[in-house]
Structure 1
């Protein structure tokens, strides 16, 4: 059972009271709605009508509601069980544009559904690929999930973007009020205000936008004129398929999968104070839900769906990670499908307000990724895995036209900072795995000088394996105490051979020597330990048993063995 971290107000299995639950769901909806700009961009890029745009947005909301439920249920291998809403996936933008330009909306819907099928198939094999995601790769993916969103978040924050290259003073004021209010509510508030920091900040942002004129009369009129209730207009053109576009959409699937892995690992970590490594079985269920969401989107006539990093960041910032919030998010999305006036309140959201929300959320994502990276020991190999991944990932996001000269089939990999960083991390990690053995050995002589040899050995192998520092410290101390005991008792007739094996689940040490077997049975400290001339001979035994999770001794053919195991 996961241990709830102290900074969480509502853990994944806890249900907030009704009113807080609705308000928390409403906060998440603001972020979910901001992702609806992606299908609008795609339809407008090919000269689609306002009716086509409205239909794609509506069906995307419906698909997002279904996808959010699928991700949350965690039943029969479907879903992760975490608060990780489904939104229009930015990974789909490039391939979706290519599909619409090639064969219209029918091809977009058919290829989106096909991509979802491919992702569901891939999810069934993911749990066998854990070796591809050691901690340094996992940390890079999580960190880049946040960093990749920074450009569009900052553009919105300062009120610039397509067709609006100038940031106005009024927009900066709105951004400062919105983000400042959110941060103040998170850092200095007492009681439950932290739960609603985003909602409070957005209300302040809307008010500031209205006062400064950023929220103009046209936007307000759009809200007023929107009908209270209406059935969505069905304009589905059907489905088509083009094998030539399969590779770009497969690449989209991989990019989306890497992002979802990062999101779900973050969910696992923030909900478990004792988190040690990714639960790939749980992540496989999450990827399956992700793929099914894309299938649903393609069938309904919406844009491909993926998990929302910003929503995960919001749950960290507010301290509310209850899965019950996800069901509220899905319910509100369903309501929005039939209530255009309520949807219009989100549609007219000022860009600085939207950017402030995303900046607030991704801050927590980036820091969580860095914490994952630094939770393990690092050597030169792992330093290059992390460093090169960040360098090339950031280059893809910073250099205009980074992927322009590449073949259209592989461009989707290189237009995203996240996908470039992830592919770099995976490739460099696989290359650097060459030459790293799961078993290492050390020969020690009783007497003096062994502490330095033990320390140097475990620092070297711990960094190469990417082991948790606290486990390596305990192993160092246990072997040091074992050698102290061998020296005190004179048990070894020669050198002590120390064999160490590492897996993600355990660190196992077997010490072998010729001589007398050691008595490592548990006992109490002698009563005269602190007296002059006290008996210290049992102290190393007690310390060894304190450091190691399992201690065993045996003797075969005159060779004594001590087996120490440390859970990892």
Structure 2
């Protein structure tokens, strides 16, 4: 390793880059394909259209990740950030799709992507509202908000299923978690850095002998699946749909800003206004491109922040490698079908370790914050922010009567917790110099 090169800019050997990049893909794959699955089923698309949506999603996610990590044409934060379709837009897209069809969704996605691209220099000025007390709270909230995802995986994926949380399922998840701990504690070098990948592979092999893995989809998948622009027709630009999607994009921009600042703190390259501008601009361009390539709005995937923390591999070129793998998965459906064979309990065991590490990293940042002295409100800021961030996680139905943009904001623990931290810090610390 060249000591003069920052770990973020370190170029690793090709074999390591592939393994670490594959590890990132496996960690985010389930989340990456979830949005097209939900939207396609909700608006009644055929199986063929669903498969095409998934291919387009993976292919475009790869392009978006390359833009975010490599930073071409003044776009991209040049941080190790994996891009994926945002969950924040699911409900509005279903609403638009059921009323006006896919072409109206893509028109709204293109328009909102252009809005995000143009607004990025102005939105990035919020960086001054992210001192350590806010950054630490946001990172902690990200980790805690992701843990229910890992718990659902650990239980089998579907809480409504009769066998959800069965003893064999929980034992399989615990076995994978134990593997991650063993590899991380007693291995070193490359083997330690791919502890999650090793646990996922071994866990999938064990799961196949226990009847948890279905490989039949591999044989049914096509060898080649080309992604063509405007596959579903020319986008239609419906003004109400565009307004709704722009409101969603404002929420996405808030989350992305928090994610960029969180990753910057973890890898030791604090994100300044320029970095955030480039990161948001990359999100905007990728979202615009997504509308053209038959997919949806893109954002930073918080799932992968935990992997960076756990493995301590900070190279953006590793994540760029995962972008290439995602593009290949989008072009070769059989490869994507193979990755999809990883059962939910296996993902759950690894997810508990990864997402827990994100929360732990946030706590580490908060440990450096000043809490004593007259006029110090940081305990209040942290406490209320964490509480607000966990509301929808504890009782998802608490905000069921909210509609529109309010529903989108309050159903995302990351968004409401981050906004609470930003607003409280701006109000309570406004008249003093205590910002940390």
TM-score w.r.t. length of structure 2: 0.91
1:133-181 CA-to-partner distances (Å, cap 9, x unmatched) read 2221222222222222222221011114264252222222221222211
Which secondary structure does the structure 1 equivalent of 2:399 belong to? coil
Which structure's residues are more often helix, by fraction?
Answer: 2
Please give the alpha-carbon distance, in whole angstroms, between the structure 1 residues aligned to 2:3 and 2:272: 15
Q: Counterparts in 2 of 1:152-551, with a 5 A limit?
A: 152-161=149-158, 163-165=160-162, 166-215=164-213, 219-232=214-227, 235-272=231-268, 278-379=271-372, 380-434=376-430, 436-438=431-433, 465-467=434-436
Residue 107 of structure 2 contacts residue 242 of structure 2 at CA under 8 Å; is this kept in 1? no
Residue 89 of structure 1 contacts residue 304 of structure 1 at CA under 8 Å; is this kept in 2? yes
Structure 2 unpaired stretches of 5+: none
Residue number in structure 2 paired with 1:17 = 13
Residue number in structure 2 paired with 1:558 = none
Residue 83 of structure 1 contacts residue 325 of structure 1 at CA under 8 Å; is this kept in 2? yes
Which structure's residues are more often strand, by fraction?
Answer: 1
Once the two structures are overlaid, the 10-residue window that deviates more, 246-255 or 412-421, is 246-255
Residue 27 of structure 2 contacts residue 303 of structure 2 at CA under 8 Å; is this kept in 1? yes
Residue number in structure 2 paired with 1:98 = 95
Change (3 A) 1:74 1:412: same
Please give the alpha-carbon distance, in whole angstroms, between the structure 2 residues aligned to 1:83 and 1:159: 30
Please give the alpha-carbon distance, in whole angstroms, between the structure 2 residues aligned to 1:303 and 1:162: 27
Residue number in structure 2 paired with 1:547 = none
Change (3 A) 1:196 1:437: closer
1:59-84 CA-to-partner distances (Å, cap 9, x unmatched) read 11121111111101234531111111
Q: CA deviation at 1:285?
A: 1.0
Q: CA deviation at 1:230?
A: 4.2
1:479-521 CA-to-partner distances (Å, cap 9, x unmatched) read xxxxxxxxxxxxxxxxxxxxxxxxxxxxxxxxxxxxxxxxxxx
Q: CA deviation at 1:427?
A: 2.3
Change (3 A) 1:241 1:230: closer
Q: CA deviation at 1:194?
A: 0.9
Change (3 A) 1:388 1:293: same
1:98-138 CA-to-partner distances (Å, cap 9, x unmatched) read 22222221122122222222222231113433332222122
1:189-235 CA-to-partner distances (Å, cap 9, x unmatched) read 233311110111011111121111111xxx21212333333445884
Query: Residue 145 of structure 1 is aligned with which of 120, 142, 146?
Result: 142
Change (3 A) 1:250 1:382: farther
Once the two structures are overlaid, the 10-residue window that deviates more, 151-160 or 237-246, is 237-246
Please give the alpha-carbon distance, in whole angstroms, between the structure 1 residues aligned to 2:148 and 2:115: 29
Q: Which has the larger radius of gyration?
A: 1
Aligned length: 429
Which secondary structure does the structure 2 equivalent of 1:172 belong to? helix
Query: Residue 119 of structure 2 is aligned with which of 119, 122, 129?
Result: 122
Which secondary structure does the structure 1 equivalent of 2:278 belong to? helix
Residue 20 of structure 2 contacts residue 193 of structure 2 at CA under 8 Å; is this kept in 1? yes
